A and B are shown apart, each in its own frame.
Chain A
Amino acid sequence: MKTETDTALRHVSALRRIAASILMLAGLIVGGTAQAVISGTTGVNFDLTAKEGYVSMGDGATVYIWGYALDGGNVQLPGPTLIVTEGETITVTLHNDLAEAVSITFPGQTDVTTTGADSEGYLAGEAAATGGEVTYTFTATRPGTYQYHSGSNVGLQIEMGLSGALIIKPNAMNQAYNHPSTAFHQEYLFFLQELDPHIHTAVEAGLTPNLAERRAQYWLINGRSGPDTFFDDNIPWLPTQPYGAMARTHPNETVLMRVVGAGLDVHSFHTHGANFRVLARDGRMRETIPGVSGADAGLSDFTLTVAPGQTYDATWSWRGEDLGWDIFGHAPGDPCEPSGEECDPASPIYDHGKAIPVWLPEQQFLTFGGFWSGSPFLGQEGALPVGEGGLNLDGGYFYMWHSHIEAELVNFDIAPGGMMTMMIVEAPGVPIP
Chain B
Amino acid sequence: MSVATEVPTFLPRDRFDDLLQALAAGGRRVVGPTVADGAIVFADLERAADLPAGLTLATAPGRARLEPLPAGPGARRTFQYTVSGEGIKKFTFPSRVDALSMTTDLAGTVRVKVEAPAEPVPLAVVGARACDLAALAVHDRVLIGGPAVDPDYAARRSDLLVVAVECALASSTCFCATMGTGPEVTTGADLVLAELDDGFVVRAPSAAGGRIVESLGLAPAAPERVGKAAAQTAAARVAMGTDAIPANARDLLLANLEHPRWEAIAERCIACANCTLVCPTCFCTGQTVTSGFDGVTSTAARTWDSCFTDGFTQVAGGNFRPRHQDRYRQWMTHKFATWFDQFGTSGCIGCGRCVAWCPVGIDVRAELTAFAATAPAVAAVPLRDRGTLQPLAPPAPDALDFRRATVVSITPETADTSPLRLVTDDPAILAGTPGQFVMVGVPAFAIPPISISRYHPDGIELTIRAAGAATSFLTRLRPGATLGLRGPLGRGWPVETAHGRDVVIVAGGIGLAPLRPVIDAVLRDRAKFADVRIYLGARTPRERLFVDEIEALAAREDVLVRVTVDRAGPEWLGRVGIVTQLFKTVRGTGTDATAFICGPERMMAATATTLGDLGVPPEHMWLTLERHMECGVGLCGHCQFGSRFVCRDGPVFSAAELGDDLRREGL
Indicate, yes or no, whether A interacts with B. no
Residues of A within 8 A of B (CB): none
